[in-house]
Amino acid sequence: MHGQPTVAAWLRLIHILRPSPVKHPCVMKHKLSSDDRRFRTEFEACSVDPERFDHAAHLRLAYIYLVENDTETALRLIRAALRAFLQHHDVDPSKYHETMTRAWILAVRHFMEISPPARSATVFIERNPSMLDTKIMMTHYSAEVLFSAEARSLFVEPDLDPIPRHEP
């Protein structure tokens, strides 16, 4: 793919971005299971079947990165991992949606802040089933804004209702 970084370059970026995680005070109460760690490793190796990488899997990956990192670092990690995954599986890179990615990272962080400690992504998602509603972002964004070309390539703030922020 001319002009696109190689999968190897994306994976190097993921590992460069994750050398010394900065923990957010809230996430220290949340934990990763061995299955979560295995899922992250498999996803970063692009060995997860794209057909099985659904909305719940996106949420799981967001939780995994947020448990060990501040919001901005988690965003950089998931962005690099998603782009590498798309490239590896020959998916059109325009499928990546920056606003959706950042908005969901913010939403997962919000739910982590207001939730009791979870020992895994599975437990966390089970305790917060409203996150499984893929239409939840439509309470924050109009369709016109969320599905615009600008929102796909750059983060656009919600135009209906702000997503709560929890950075120190």
Who wins on pLDDT, 3 or 55? Answer: 55
CA distances from 20 to 23, 49, 68, 70, 134 (A): 9, 29, 9, 11, 32
User: Are the beta carbons of 118 and 30 closer than 8 angstroms?
Assistant: yes
Tell whether the model's pLDDT for residue 145 goes beyond 80.
Answer: yes
* pTM of the predicted model as reported, rounded to 2 decimal places: 0.85
Q: Please state the rounded mean pLDDT for residues 113-122.
A: 95
Asked if residue 5 has pLDDT above 70, the reply is: no
For the chain, give every domain's residue range. 7-15+23-153
Residue pair 80/44 in contact by the 8 Å Cβ criterion:
no
H helix runs in the chain, sequence order: 7-17, 34-44, 55-68, 71-88, 98-114, 121-127, 143-146, 149-153
